[in-house]
Amino acid sequence: MRDTGPPVVLVVEDEPDVAETYRRWLQSTYDVRVAADGAAAMAEIDESVDVVLLDRMMPEMSGEAVLREIRDRGMDCRVAMVTAVDPDFDIVEMGFDAYLTKPPEREELFETIERLLDRAELDGDLQEYYSLVARQSALQTEKSETELADSEEYAALTDRIDAAREAVDEELGDMASDTAFVGAVREIMDDEGEAE
């Protein structure tokens, strides 16, 4: 998905001035696309989109409806809701991956996009971490503690596990955040669905 070129950010915003501000801020770092309403967003979105910035209050098709459509189509992208009112718990249940209070600061916008791009790597990196731990567990059942202490392979594996865990925890970010926590669990469950 991110093999070629910069990450793709789709801005869905019905106020042209606001959309233009986002574009100006973001275009040197990302491939920015803009859609003025929900219908345009659904026409614009495809597998190349990494992050969607979605205005909650839009005429005709609301941000929630757009999100539902994105999820129903099984698009592998992360969606941040931009909202003028402080969000309730319902945004966690609806399946938004993050939210920003309008108007977002430039720094905030970048941080949120970067966090969501990181989260796209989470399941794969958790998988790698799991595989290493599973191999370590197998060695622990096969060998004695003395054998393990003398094993270079085991020491190298332990180092790799520490590095893998560090990478995962960086992508997880602050799990005290409800949206980040539920979003992270949703990432591993999407994968479970595909495996079935």
CA end-to-end span of the chain: 22
189 binds another protein (CB under 8 A): yes
118 binds another protein (CB under 8 A): no
**Whole-angstrom Cα distance, residue 187 to residue 76?**
10
Under rule CB under 8 A, which residues in 131-170 are in contact with another protein?
133-134, 136-138, 140-141, 168-169
Short-list 109, 120, 115, 117, CA closest to 11: 109
Q: With CB under 8 A as the contact rule, which of the stretches 24-32, 54-62, 75-83, 174-182 interacts with another protein? A: 174-182
Of 56-115, binders to another protein (CB under 8 A) are: 89, 92-93
Cα–Cα distance list, 160 to 43, 118, 123, 147, 195 (Å): 43, 20, 17, 19, 26
- Judged by the rule CB under 8 A, the positions of this chain that interact with another protein are 89, 92-93, 123, 126-127, 129-130, 133-134, 136-138, 140-141, 168-169, 172, 174-176, 178, 181-182, 184-186, 188-189, 191-192, 195
